[in-house]
Each structure stands twice: as structure tokens, then as C-alpha cells.
Amino acid sequence: MRIVVFGTGAIGGAVAAVLQRAGQDVLGISRGAQFEAIRNEGLRLLTPTVSETIRFPVVQSLDKAAIRTDDMILLAIKGQDTQEALEALRSAGAANQPIFCLQNGVTNEDAALRLFPNVHAVTVMMPSVFITPGEVAVQSAPKLGLFYTGRYPRGSDTADTAFAEAMTSADIATFVKEDVMPFKYGKLFLNLSNILIAALGRGAPIAALRERVRTEAAQVLTAAGIGWENVDQDHPDRLKYMNFADVPGYEGTGSSTAQSFLRKSARVETDWLNGEIVRLGRLHDTPVPVNAYLTALAARMSREGAEPGSLSLEEVEAGLAAFEQT
């Protein structure tokens, strides 16, 4: 079995590197400066206990990947890039291979199911940072991360078992779940704060706003009849396997959305996080002013090339108040 990692940023790069380090057969699909760095020098992996450069095969496009029938394909890209990636996979000959969505949000699996029959959801809790091409930091201990996997929309099979075994061998605690989507919705709750951290900066007093965001989301999911598993920091698996930990000589930059702003990405993932709550709220006649405002805020910051932490709490609160009056 070869493991094809589509996307080698914070999550995909770290996963590809640790799988290679564990002796798995890995191929990365990368692009831009990250592709050049990995191809030429390998990927430098930083963790609380490791600083190591790991080399693994990488190609820049799927037509050079020579997709095999026994490949396991891991999608490790942002939600805004999912549709394009799925179409590229189909054009490259992917068909019945298991496709694992190592992505934030809850809509990637459904998009994949339109094109492929063998889709698996993965709840990813792995605080990873990618800012500099050729370098990824994972700020987690005692394990490098905590994953839950299962078939989409429900069930599990031998591919999930193989995935869990491969990840566990790479020091990522991974568990197969017959109903994995509640865990992904639980992770969505955590990711709803990404834009707050990106806008206000690490350490900003976001507790009150975060509570408003999550309360609104809970009302929406309840109205939609969707259940979720609380995977916050007090979850037993989190306490046992995945705690935030310092990487020597390295300072983190905050949420994945903040990392996108730092890299001046043209689009950010907020539309697939807070935007999903907005979509469900509108479908089920439930007010969503807070998440709608944050979705619009992320789009504006991306459009203007704003830096992480460039807004004050007062500015965000005033903007939300004005938005609620419209």
C-alpha cells in the first residue's frame, strides 16, 4: 500500500514526514515553494522532542503521481480547494481507492462522495504550523496528534483499520469510529474560533466572543438535527494523547486561518467553518449574525491582505454590533 498525501502544508507535510519516518511508502503532492523545498532539501520536522529533516518522494501534479489501484489517498488541503482537487484526482484515474479527508470542516466528505464511492472522514487534532517552505512544526505531546476515522457517512472497513495502524505507527493516536461525523462536528466547534484568533492575535481575550459563536452554532445544529461530540481540551482522549506543547526555539502563530493570512492566501477556510453554520442556520430558519459577521470579516481581511492580529477587540465588537443592526 502506498499512501498519497495530497497537500503538504501544516497537516499534510507533517503526516507525510512522520509516515515516511515510520517506514511507510509515501508520495506527496505539493506545489509552489513548498514543493521546491521538499524536493530539493526534504521537510524539516520540528516537534517537542524532534528536529529532523525527512526526505520523501514528492511531485507537483497528479499526472506525475501515476495513481495506483492500491493507493490510499489522503486529502490534506483547505476546504476552498477541495472541489478542484477532487476533479484532478478523477482526471488522474482515481476511482475506488479509499479517500481520507484530513480536513477541517464537515462538507469535504460530501463533495468527495459525489465523485468517489470510498470516502472516509478524519477528525484531525494536530496543532501544526507551516509558514516557511520546507518546515513544519507540530506542537503536541505525548503523541503528535489525535485522529478519529470512519467511512462517510457512517460505518468502517479494513481501509480505516489500515489507516489507523499506519498513523499509530507514526506516533499519531488514531481510532476507528463507526459514526465519525459527530467528532468532525465537535472539531468544527473548535475551528469556529480560528477567525477570532487570526483577527485579534494569539492571547487576545476572545472568551466572550467565542462563547457567542459556539452558542449560536449549537442552536443551529440542534435545529438541523445534527449531533456532535465535545472534543475540547477536557475530552479524555485529548488529556491522554494530545496536549499543546512548546517546540524548542519555535513560537507558534495561532490558528490555521492566521497562517493563511501570514502567507497572504487569496482565500481562507472560514467559508467552510463559520460559513457552514451560516448555511445551516439559513436552511433551518435560525439566526446566525455572529457567524455571518465573522465569515464576512475573514473575506474582507483576506481581500485586503490584513496581517494576523491587526484588529482590536473593540473594532471587532463594534463591527459585530453594526452588522447585527443591518
Q: What is the mean pLDDT of the chain?
A: 94
Question: Mind listing the pLDDT tens digit for each residue in 280-307?
Answer: 999 999 999 999 999 999 999 989 888 8
Q: With 80 as the cut, is the pLDDT of residue 264 above it?
A: no
Enter the pTM of the model: 0.93
pLDDT at position 305 is: 86
Q: Which of 233, 188, 180 is nearest to 214 (CA)?
A: 188
Most distant CA pair in the chain, distance = 57
Pair 8, 16: CB distance under 8 Å:
yes
**Which is it for strands 25-29 and 2-6: parallel, antiparallel or unpaired?**
parallel
Residue 53's beta-bridge partner residues?
44
Q: With 80 as the cut, is the pLDDT of residue 167 above it?
A: yes
E strand segments, 133-225 = 135-138, 140-142, 146-151, 173-176
> What cell numbers appear for 284 in the block?
433551518
Q: With 80 as the cut, is the pLDDT of residue 256 above it?
A: no
Least confident of 46-50, 110-114, 178-182, 199-203: 199-203
